[in-house]
Amino acid sequence: MQKRPFFIKKENIMQYKKGFIPLEVRFASSKSAGIKDSLLLTGFTLIELLVVIAIIGILTSVVLASLNGARDKSGDVTVKANLSNLRSQAALYFDDNNSSFGPNTGTSCTTAGSVFTDSRVAAQLTAAQSASGGGSVATCANSTTLWAVSVPLRDKTKAWCVDSSGIAKEASANTTTIQCGS
């Protein structure tokens, strides 16, 4: 037994499928089976699809614009976290090296024998520099009992400074002193 296709009258389709533009599809006539020679289908028009694509594009641009600000903030937070960890590593270095942070470095972070060349401290310093946007240069200063480090934030006019006295604050530029200030 051959199944007969289900046909719906045009008026009923319009009643149940609001928002769709009806399309008419013609089939070969089968008069022997008593089947009509057309079937009414519905679907989206090109205009409707383009409107939906435009709406998705607008929403995507709004979301991406807000993500750029979040990316900058996350970079700044990463710099601050790495420099906070650097403080702990420097305290361990101080304990391991006869209560000394090593020779005075001026503003160099690579002076041999200083706290900043310790592998644990250097790893935190490198991570902070790369999180600040790459190409950023940290400024380091130390004496045998004090140290300070400043790394530029994503906004290159600002820097984050931490020192051995426990101060961690935003500065307008890299520090060249052994303390970030009070």
State CA 9 to chain mean position distance: 54
In a domain, 5, yes or no: no
Which structure tokens are listed for 134? 């790459």
- pLDDT, residue 14, reads 47
- pLDDT, residue 104, reads 76
- pLDDT, residue 54, reads 96
Which structure tokens are listed for 138? 């940290």
All residue ranges of the chain with pLDDT < 70 are: 1-42, 105, 107, 134-135, 173-177, 182
- The domain containing residue 122 runs over which residues? 63-171
- pLDDT, residue 52, reads 94
- pLDDT, residue 137, reads 81
Q: What is the pLDDT of residues 26-74, one digit of tens each?
A: 555 555 555 555 555 567 788 989 999 999 999 999 988 888 888 888 8
In a domain, 39, yes or no: no
- pLDDT, residue 81, reads 92
Q: pTM score, two decimals? A: 0.63
In a domain, 26, yes or no: no
- To the nearest 10°, report the CA torsion of 90, 113, 130, 180: 50
In a domain, 180, yes or no: no
Domain count, the chain: 1
CA-angle at 100, arms to 175 and 108, nearest 5°: 35
- pLDDT, residue 13, reads 47
Evaluated on CA atoms 62, 68, 70, 71, the torsion sign reads positive
In a domain, 157, yes or no: yes
- pLDDT, residue 60, reads 93
In a domain, 16, yes or no: no
In a domain, 81, yes or no: yes
In a domain, 108, yes or no: yes
